[in-house]
Amino acid sequence: MCKAYISGALTDIKNPEEYKQFYESIALLCEEISIEAYVPHLYTDPVNNPEFTPQEVFKNDKHQVSSSDLVIAYLGYPSFGVGMELAYAEARKIPIIILYEVGKRISRFPRGIPTLVAEIRFHNYEDALSQLKQSLINWKISQQVH
């Protein structure tokens, strides 16, 4: 079974529960189409799991990214951690899908990552999940061809 790492801002964001629910919805969508999903906040949330040191979080998340077949990243909220996860994935030639809202200005740097397989601009979460489902199906088909 393929594995996806779900990347998204967690620190110092407005409405964290809304974003966490979105990340979990992405994971459920992955599971529906037989892609195992790792959602970092379910294990090392900065608020719910303060006992983990920064070094432990780095080691864990780095391992989870490197053992994934795909990284799915929400870029609608700036995050140093997300940027580092994307750079780490790209360095290991791991395919990446990015998502963000229509109208948000997103840096060209992550949008130009060579391992990017889809860039999804969405109007609402339902739209995001619909587009993501098609991108994941296309990605899985391309994996079977190789």
Domains of the chain: residue spans and CATH: 2-141 (3.40.50.450)
Name 146's Cβ contacts closer than 8 Å, sequence gap at least 6: none
CA dist 19 and 61 (Å) reads 18
Which helix (H) or strand (E) segment is 88 a member of?
helix 80-91
3 state DSSP class of 50: coil
Query: Considering only CA atoms, which of 93, 82, 111 is closest in space to residue 23?
Result: 82
Instruction: Report the Cα 71 to chain-centroid distance in Å.
Output: 5
Res 71 pLDDT > 70: yes
- Give residue 103's pLDDT: 96
Res 123 pLDDT > 70: yes
CA dist 111 and 25 (Å) reads 23
Query: Considering only CA atoms, which of 127, 120, 123, 70 is closest in space to residue 93?
Result: 70
Q: Tokens for 30?
A: 């992955």
Name 102's Cβ contacts closer than 8 Å, sequence gap at least 6: 121, 122, 123
Task: Read off the pTM.
Answer: 0.96
- Give residue 146's pLDDT: 62
What confidence tens digit (pLDDT) does each residue in 4-52 have?
999 999 988 999 999 999 999 999 999 999 999 999 999 998 888 889 9
- Give residue 107's pLDDT: 94
CA dist 3 and 6 (Å) reads 10
| Average pLDDT value for the chain | 95
